[in-house]
Structure 1
Amino acid sequence: MLPLVCEAVGRESQPVRHLLVVDKQAPDADVLPVSSVFDILCDAEFPRLALQTENECASTMALILYSSGTTGAPKGVMLSHRNLVACVLQSEVVTHDLASGDEVPGTMLAIVPMFHTFGITFQCLLGPYKGVTTVVMTKFEMTKLMQLIEAHSVTDTILAPPIINALVKMPAAATTERYNMTSLKRAIVGGAPLGNEIIEMMEARMPDLRIAQGYGMTEMSPTVAVNPPAARRLESVGALAPSIEVRVLDSDNKLVGCGETGELCFRGPNVMMGYLGNLEATRETFDEDGFLHTGDIGHIDSGIYVYITGRKKELIKFNGFQ
């Protein structure tokens, strides 16, 4: 495996300074095994690891996640440390009742893959930041989902629309009557629209549960808007997260007013650095004022709630692929 990785690294335009081999036995004399690295770390003096200035945070890449973007083939989305920190703080505000009001912090069930920006921000970063216990589901199975909610008294989770659709279609005898899931209070839903009827059916079956739809994209780290459970609007994908500026542009790229329909464009501290090794795609996505053009058609109401009504160019999603 190591020769293949070395070959791939050699082809990348982004320089790789260190390659860690997680193996107790070194494959050759030029490779330091990870166990030896751990031994060295016990006594060695370290250079500063923390990023101390805003410029360092904004200019230092933390992650590369692949996304189809607004159109076309997958592209490497470069997210900085500032992007991720900003998104965690933004997400905390729009999900302020996650584990709040309880004497003991809640428990989150992590279902979304950790290589997905939603999983990274909400499960790996936001959960620990808020002191929420996180239970990781290694492989999704519907029965296992219900068992884990009951066993760990799960209060919060992130669900994809197909999961909720499937739960609604299952008989109560196989779900709420078989498993005690009354601990589940909040579920954030994203990735695709979820019909109001399905939301109402799910909440009728689980009266303590409140479903909040969210809207985001990898290029936004990913949070753009989330419907707060206490003040949600079912027809909206959510209230705009803090520190995000929005423009709605018509087909001639002219600014339209509140409530008018056009392409949604955003600017904020959570917006990506750009696409890895693809200046052309980066230039096509950002305008001269630094606003990211999403390709989504919609409008913003006076309460800064976001509404999606279409796409400039239609995409077909199947099993997470565009």
Structure 2
Amino acid sequence: MDANKFNQPNGDIEISQPPADTVTELAFSPKANLLAASSWDNEVRIWEIQNNGTSMGKAAYSHEAPALCCVWSRDGTKVASGGADKAGRMIDIGTGQSVQVAQHDAPISCIKFVEAENASPILATAGWDKVLKYWDLRQPSPIGTVNLPERAYAMDCNNPMLVVATAERKIVIFDMNNPTTPFETAESPLKWQTRTVSCFPNKEGYAVGSIEGRVGIQYVDIKDKDKCFSFKCHRENKGLESLVHSINTICHHPGFGTFATASNDASFAIWDKDARRKISSHTKLGGPIVSAAFNGDGSLFAYALGYDWSKGYKGNTSDIKNTIMLHAVSEQDVKPTPK
């Protein structure tokens, strides 16, 4: 993506025909500059992003209630989503046909493709019914079901590791070589409700974010446990008061392994966990950032603006716009500190 083509304020470009309501999750295709977004208006939309930063709608389909999550298949041919209608749905980008592929007893809040490279597609869904299900898309019934300790709030997979974060600060880790038996069940290192989780690209661990403006860096192997740490971010000092903002999303850069955090303080920042430092930050972006994602080669960063209801209905003012912005990523923004 050519950073020089982005000449709007903050260097960012608004996507064409954004959702009518707040986005719940953004996801880029791993194979092309195709961006999917699920939103509270029941819709899942897909855009094609051009090299000059312009975008055009490519496909869309609906849930019968708010769409809460979305994900691309590894081969970039399909988008799957979960919704408050308790259904998992999927669209084939080539044909434009959408079908139901999963069912829960409560809203599906998390969805990921979990198969290894070049294997048959396996979809994992987790929901507020405290259940994790695995689906072979060639079969109508789940091929595996796991009871979770609480409602699922966030989930990520980098095969063979699947991490599910639930209510009551529980984190359940699965090894996809034995997908129906938890590898480890732990308590979040953070004190308050979990909002997001993201697996390291090198598969050694994961980052977890909470509503208290804090991120936890967690390693899975017992020999690396002394490398775990937590840090504060997205906080403002105003006189004697400290304003604490929720970490709404964490996403890792696919090339460098650094990661972005985005928050309802209208900013995102890029971090180097190994050097334990912030590399770059972008602020005053127009409203709470509710979701974000890097594209497949890490040259583009999409972030969704919208009201996150953290201040109740009184905070939902007309100056908060529901939209998606595209940010051209420069290497100096995301490259880790030389060792």
- Higher-Rg member (1/2): 1
Provide the TM-score with structure 1 as the length reference. Answer: 0.28
Higher strand share: 2
Which structure ranks higher in relative contact order (CA pairs < 8 Å, sequence separation ≥ 6)?
Answer: 1
